[in-house]
Amino acid sequence: MTWSRRQIVAAGVIGALLAIAVTIIALNFMQPERRIERQVEHRYTTDDPRFRHELSTLLGPPILEGNRVANFENGDQIFPAMLEAIRGARHSINFETYIYWSGDIGREFADALIERAHAKVPVHVLVDWVGSQKMDEVLVHEMADAGIRIERYHPLQWYHLVRMNNRTHRKLLVVDGKIGFTGGVGIADQWSGNAQDEEHWRDSHYRIEGPAVAQMQAAFMDNWIKATGGVLRGEDYFPPLEPLGDAAGQVFTSSPTGGADSMLLMYLLAFSSAVKTIDISASYFVPDELTLRVLIDALKRGVRVRVIVPGEDIDTEIVRKASRASWGELLAAGAQIHEYQPTMFHCKTVIVDGLLVSVGSTNIDTRSFRLNDEANLNVYDAAFARALTRVFEQDLKHTRQITLQAWLHRPFTEKIMENAAAALSSQL
């Protein structure tokens, strides 16, 4: 067979395009920084001042005293609290979220933001390009026409191709630089209601007031600068913040473009510090080898480890399968793993020794630890930890515990599918 010059040129072009595509995909799968490779050993307990010192100086912003934190459960509590704060804004609104979809909730938030923009309050909205694909462009145009600065994070453009796998998963609302919200909730009708059926998800969200709100504002600014190149300054965004409560807190962030392993290390330090209890609510629980080792070491020290994950009602079945593939060693070491039954379980909460609480957008999986931009609120307060433990134990009443025997004797086809899913865990 003899090829014509045109066929040779066409083949060369196709080969070049394939090479470019493979390179782009490879760059998206590559880790931008050297990963943590060694076990994090138990040194300090959570109530040891040295533990707080390490989390403040080794990993992130300082732990600040004087915060007031409130938790809200499910959309019936969460959305009214967020909308009340938006409608009461006088100086600024900064809002970053992964999911913003059209529907009744999307419309209500858009209307509240637009009303404040009409009242000359500066409003900045940052939504993830992937997470906002179900957002009606009418809402975007209405917001922009009202004077809202709305941007999408890492839209599909040629200069973002090597970062298209890096999404902002952060869920941050900061009003007047004084009131902050974070948690698991997206702006979509699935989060409305009270987790009463399969159409209404179970989730938690949190409001913070006090000095640590400035750190949440800084977390928003981090991605706003990346998306726009603009800097928002002044007392409308960073007012003086007086102590308002008794909780110590810090807003902790991670991103693959800087500190890719920071969130993972924070969790490893927290788990390795435990001497009594670790309670984990995780919508996506696909722990890597290091996380498994630290949790198993904690179990060997006599720490009670309880985990709540979604049951069969889950929005991403492959994640559930990859998660179940990893449970064997944890169950054998004595961990208690429970699947939530009524609806999709989307909570993201860690409680250690009844003192340290970490809440926010982060899941226990590689995507959160190394691919997404995430933000968590860490709270050091026994009263807050007790309140969230009561919520955790209320959720336990609606779960089915998975025993080691049940896990070992699950059908062979399930094992095959779970192990196949686990092979993709670096992207889940």
Is residue 398 within 8 A of residue 340, CB to CB? The reply is yes
Residues 203, 74 contacting (CB under 8 angstroms): yes
Which tokens is 47 given? 């109530």
- The CA-atom distances, in angstroms, between 123 and each of 115, 118, 136, 192 are 10, 10, 19, 24
Domains defined along the chain, listed by start:
29-427 (3.30.870.10)
Active-site annotation holder among 279, 288, 297, 353: 353
Both tokens of residue 7?
């066929």
Q: What is the pLDDT of residue 342?
A: 97
pLDDT tens for each residue of 147-192: 999 999 988 765 555 566 789 999 999 999 999 999 999 999 999 9
- Quick check: is 176 catalytic? yes
- As a whole number of angstroms, the distance between CA 396 and CA 403 comes to 15
194 versus 425: which is more confidently predicted?
194
Active-site residue identified among 42, 128, 154, 176: 176
Residue 181 CA, distance from chain mean position: 13
Between CA 126 and CA 236 the distance in angstroms is 18
Which member of 42, 154, 169, 200 is catalytic? 169
Helix (H) or strand (E) holding 174: strand 172-175
Whether 346 is catalytic is yes
HSE-CB of 394 using CA atoms within 13 angstroms? 11
- What is the mean pLDDT of the segment spanning 106-112? 98
Asked whether residue 23 carries a pLDDT value surpassing 70, the answer given is: no
- C-alpha atoms less than 13 angstroms from C-alpha of 274 in its C-beta half-sphere: 31
The winner for highest mean pLDDT among 25-34, 51-60, 306-315, 415-424 is 306-315
* Least confident stretch, 230-239, 297-306, 328-337, 409-418: 409-418
Active-site entry in 171, 178, 226, 338: 171
Q: Left if phi > 0, otherwise alpha if psi is -120 to 50, otherwise beta: which for 163?
A: alpha
Choice between 82 and 410, residue whose per-residue pLDDT is larger: 82
pLDDT at 21 over 60: no
Sign of the dihedral through C-alpha 361, 364, 365, 370: positive
> Beta strands 93-97 and 123-128: pairing type?
parallel
Burial of 157 (0-12, 13-18, 19+ CB in 10 A): exposed
Alpha-carbon separation of residue 269 from 127, 290, 382 (angstroms):
31, 11, 19
Active-site residue identified among 222, 321, 348, 381: 348
Nearest to 392 by CA among 350, 356, 330: 350
Over range 230-234, report the average pLDDT: 95
Residues 6+ apart with CB under 8 A from 276: 303, 304, 353, 354
What DSSP element (H or E) covers 305? strand 304-310
Which tokens is 23 given? Answer: 């390179």
Q: Does position 199 have pLDDT exceeding 60, yes or no?
A: yes
**Residue 27: what pLDDT?**
42
What are the residues facing 352 on neighbouring strands? 278, 356
Above 80 in pLDDT, residue 307? yes
Mean pLDDT of the chain: 90
Nearest-angstrom CA–CA distance, 60 and 258: 12
424 Cα distance to chain centroid: 19
Query: How far apart are alpha carbons 338 and 306 in whole angstroms?
Result: 8
DSSP assignment of 197-247: STTS-B-EEEEEESTTHHHHHHHHHHHHHHHHS----STTTS------SSE
C-beta of residue 327 within 8 angstroms of C-beta of residue 407 = yes
The DSSP code sequence of 390-406 is HHHHHHHTTEEEEPHHH
The answer to whether 348 is a known catalytic residue is yes
pLDDT of the residue at 324: 94
